[in-house]
Amino acid sequence: KLYPVVLLICTVPLPYFAWLFLYDVPLREAFFSLTPVDFLFPTQRNFTLWISFPLLYFFWLSIAAKVDCRKIAVWKTTTISCVLFILMLVAGIRFTYDKRAEILSEMSYDILHEKWEETLRLSAVYPTSNRRVCYLTNIALCESGQMPYRMFHYRQIGPVGLFLERELNYLSLWNLGEVYYRLGMIPEAEHCAFEALISSPNEANTQTLQRLAVTNLIRRDSSAFCKYVSFFENTLAYGKWAKQQRSYLDTAMVNSSFQIPHTPVPYKYDDFFINYVNPDHALHILLQSNPTHKKAFEYLMAYYLLQQNIEAIKKCIDLYYKDSFYPAMPVLYEEALLVYKNINPANADFLKKYPVSEATLKRFSEYTRVYKNAKRSNRDWEQLRKRFGNTYWFYVHFTEPVFGHNEDEKYRY
């Protein structure tokens, strides 16, 4: 009879200690919330599943009152328990497991922890086209130095997979700021993180508070940094991290050139309003103030490549391309220049001003031949896709780019 009382006494303090040492959530939520996932996506199914626990308890309690378990052989009760467990496990996996959601969550985690190759591996196995998958994939490509070479080795749906639209919900705002953070636009990354923080349906969370602490650390704003990092200092899970950030602040405040470990290089630029509909505007301003910003150049080129804006690609190369960026012009830029030359054949000196490698010229000739044959034969089309599906030429011919503005519902996450 004392067992339920002892159990209750032991369990009631657990949320308090979790709130005190482990989790960065309000005390009310520590006691009365259901699950962390339910914070962001409250559904009737989640609520029903949790309500089933006390209901099942009383159901089995009523069964136990009518059946004398001591008269049932142990092997029978064990067998029945195992069978029921296996059936529930299989049913749970069958009806609730979402492979796409799991891959997206893993990719987000890997981006946060700078695991670029793992992000790309997951992108390659994602079963459908999705704007957030493209977005995270492109961040990983840029950070790993592969964007101008291997961008079309992965699914691309258009500019909407390079920059996300601004939507007033936690996940959209959090993801929106990731690319600005990686490009060194720290004030905009902080802005997105703060909007994500106040848009969260259940107050603060670790992810956004850590980003706000780091962005203010990069900006040497010690007052704001101390406010955010204080949330973590008394927790078991994040206390060591908070102590490390404090040590970085001490160094950063006496050494203005100190680069905070595991953070992007912050870039300075003129004040302007972020245009989320035309993100290339921000990249132009960033490059005008920082002409050696290689990642900003690659993102601007990627934006115009995905737009299939051939004129803008050439203009971007004329304005910002530097030989010091690469040992030789990246293959995707060569492919785009050949598209420009094909559209404007009158310029006889084009290849003198924009030297394209002999290997790329030969591949373009072969692509043209196979493409003409593919118009007449499905077999040749399959050969075209297999041999040239990762080229910019194939993307231009066979992909209708998605520009966003709510026109791409099937690609939404």
The average pLDDT across 106-126 equals 94
Model pLDDT, residue 24: 57
Side chain identity at 253, as an amino acid letter?
M
Asked whether residue 8 is assigned to any structural domain, the reply reads yes
Unique residue bearing structure tokens 């258009």: 158
The answer to whether the CB of 152 falls within 8 A of the CB of 393 is no
Q: Are 369 and 383 in contact (CB under 8 A)?
A: no
Q: What is the mean pLDDT of residues 204-227?
A: 94
Asked whether residue 286 is assigned to any structural domain, the reply reads: no
User: What's the token pair of residue 387?
Assistant: 């041999």
In a domain, 323, yes or no: no
Higher per-residue pLDDT: 4 or 217: 217
Domain count, the chain: 1
17 located within any domain: yes
More confident residue, 271 or 77: 271
Sequence-ordered list of residues with C-beta below 8 angstroms from that of 103, at least 6 positions apart, any chain: 122, 125, 126, 133
Domain that holds residue 19: 1-33
CA–CA dist 336, 392 (Å, integer) = 7
Yes or no: say if 158 and 302 are a contact pair by the CB < 8 Å rule: no
Higher pLDDT, 84 or 31: 84
- Report if residue 128 sits inside a domain: no
Would you say residue 206 lies in a domain?
no
Contacts of 221 (CB under 8 A, 6+ apart): none
What's the whole-model pTM score?
0.82
With the C-alpha atoms ordered 286, 292, 295, 297, is the resulting torsion angle positive or negative?
positive
Within-domain flag for 343: no
Averaged over 4-18, what is the pLDDT?
77
Query: Regarding predicted confidence, which is higher, 168 or 291?
Result: 291
Would 4 be classed as within a structural domain?
A: yes
pLDDT tens, residue by residue, 375-410? 777 788 888 999 999 999 999 999 999 987 554 444
Closest residue by Cα to residue 35 from 96, 89, 115: 96
At residue 221, what is the residue type?
D
Give the residue-averaged pLDDT of 242-262. 95
pLDDT given for residue 241 in this prediction: 95
